Structure formats: structure tokens, C-alpha cells
Amino acid sequence: MVNLDLEKISLPGLDLERPWVIAGPCSAETEEQVLETAKKLAAEGFKIFRAGIWKPRTRPGAFEGVGTLGLPWLQRVKKETGMFVGTEVANANHVFEAIKHGIDILWVGARTTANPFAVQEIADALKGTNIPVLVKNPVNPDLELWIGALERINQAGIKKLAAIHRGFSTYDKTKYRNHPQWQIPIELKRRCPEIPIICDPSHISGKSELIYEISQEAMDLGFDGLLVEAHRCPEKAWSDASQQVTPENLKEITDKIVLREPKI
Ligand code: PEP
Ligand code: MN
């Protein structure tokens, strides 16, 4: 058993009912794209917005995010839609900047979770805050690295912690971009029963057509929530275009999800 000292994740005035849905574009591209996407999501009833502003890309030369410039755009989302906002942090400076700009939720990306020094730096920067932090699984199927990252952040005093399952890279070609290997989050739940687990069907699937079936599977396994990439115009997205859905489409998907008695 892994002992984590956890507290229920809460956001002021929001009742986090299962499945909690965090939705928004892979990347914040322009102020207008961020605002329009957020307003459409808010109109569909979604309450928590995601957008990556620091984007660790696998190969150089791809769009690496707008950086700190995007933080005031997220502040506008909060002000103009009432949504809570979250972004990915990959180093201590990202943590300081995000907190300074009133970001409500932070997450650690899959490439960062694989690096204990980077996770420790983030954990140290988080000390003294009470911000909810979500930790994605590492890119490789290593449950210990995932648990280690959760422990480092928890030991820095972050009790509002959750895990995000985003699948695992494999060299083999499968129908998924990142293989779900459901047994790994299931084992995480067995070893840390208190940790909420959120599924990221977008990075598992790599394609919008699979978002529904992966989300339903996650709910059948008793997951607590979903992190889904949604964009006002997915085909024009600057990153991860093939896996994003429109806000309207996301509403259809979440309406279709049936909450059954969990299989595990
Ligand atoms: C993301 O959520 O946009 C992202 C970069 O995901 P991951 O860290 O899972 O690759
Ligand atoms: Mn993405």
C-alpha cells in the first residue's frame, strides 16, 4: 500500500460530481481561440477549462506553446465565463507564474512525470500552496515512476492530488496513439485506493472517433473524471488536431456516457 495524505479536491462553489470533466484545447494558440473555445464549452455546461501554454514537444520545431503570454488569456476565461482554469507545468518557474496569475489547477505532463528531478523541482515550488495538482502517468508503462511523482508532490504538502491516465507509448502500431494498458491505473487504484483517477481519452486515442468508447470504459472501471481536448475548430488546431472535438461534440459524448456500477 502507498500512503498518500489526501484531501478531497474542491474548487470554490463547485460540486465535483462524477464524472468531473476538464475540457479545452491542447494548446492556447491565440487569445481569441482561447476565449471562443471557453465560451462555447461554458455554454454547453462545462465548468473546468484546460489549455496548454508550455508544450513539451517530442521533436524540436513544433509549436511549443505561447508561454507566459497565455496566462492573462486564462484569467479572462475565468472572468468572462466563470470557469475554473488549469494548465500544465514542467518546471518551477511555470509553477510560480501559473500561481501568480490565479490558475486554479495544475497538471504535470507525461514527459515530466518520467523525470524525478523535474518532478522534485515542481514539488518544491508548490510548497506552501494548496492548489490541486493532477499527475499524468509517465510516457513509459512504469507504475513506480507514476507513484513516485505522486509521492514527491504529496510530500511537498499538496493534498488535493489526482492521477491522470493518458496511456503509454509503444513502438508497435495499434489503434491507439498511446496504449491504455488499463491494468496499470487499476493497479494504481489498488495500491492507492484514495487517489482520484481521471482518464485522458484524447491522448490515449489520438483520434476523436475513439473518445466516447475510451471515456465509457474509464467510467465502467470507476474512474472519477475525464480530461478531454476540445477546440472551436479541431481541424485547424496547432497541435493534436486529429484528437480534438468541438465543444458541441463533447457535450454529445458526455451525454451518451452511462454511469454503471464500476467493474472493479
Ligand atoms: C497535453 O495534455 O496536452 C499533453 C501534452 O499531454 P501528455 O503530457 O499526456 O502528452
Ligand atoms: Mn495534446
- Alpha-carbon distance 156 to 181, whole Å? 29
Q: CB atoms < 10 A from the CB of 49, how many?
A: 26
264 residues of the chain, pLDDT tens digit each: 999 999 999 999 998 999 999 999 999 999 999 999 999 999 999 999 999 999 999 999 999 999 999 999 999 999 999 999 999 999 999 999 999 999 999 999 999 999 999 999 999 999 999 999 999 999 999 999 999 999 999 999 999 999 999 999 999 999 999 999 999 999 999 999 999 999 999 999 999 999 999 999 999 999 999 999 999 999 999 999 999 999 999 999 999 999 999 987
pLDDT value at residue 84: 98
- 183-191 and 143-155 helices cross at what angle (nearest 10)? 40
Q: Is the CB of 109 under 6 A from ligand 1?
A: yes
Atom of ligand 1 nearest to the CA of 202: 2
**Cβ contacts of 30 within 8 Å, gap of 6 or more:** none
Atom of ligand 1 nearest to the CA of 110: 8
pLDDT value at residue 264: 79
Where are the alpha helices (H) located in the chain, listed in sequence order? 31-43, 71-81, 92-100, 110-113, 116-126, 143-155, 183-191, 201-205, 211-220, 247-256
Q: Is the CB of 136 under 6 A from ligand 1?
A: yes
Q: Is the CB of 65 under 6 A from ligand 1?
A: no
Q: Do residues 27 and 52 touch, judged by C-beta distance below 8 A?
A: yes
ipTM of the prediction? 0.98
Spacing of C-alpha 137 from chain mean position: 10
The 3-state secondary structure of 128-190, one letter per residue: CCCCCEEEECCCCCCHHHHHHHHHHHHHCCCCCEEEEECCECCCCCCCCCCECCCHHHHHHHH
| Domains of the chain in sequence order | 20-55+63-256 (3.20.20.70)
Atom of ligand 1 nearest to the CA of 166: 9
Return the DSSP state at 235.
G
Q: Is the CB of 114 under 6 A from ligand 1?
A: no
pTM: 0.98
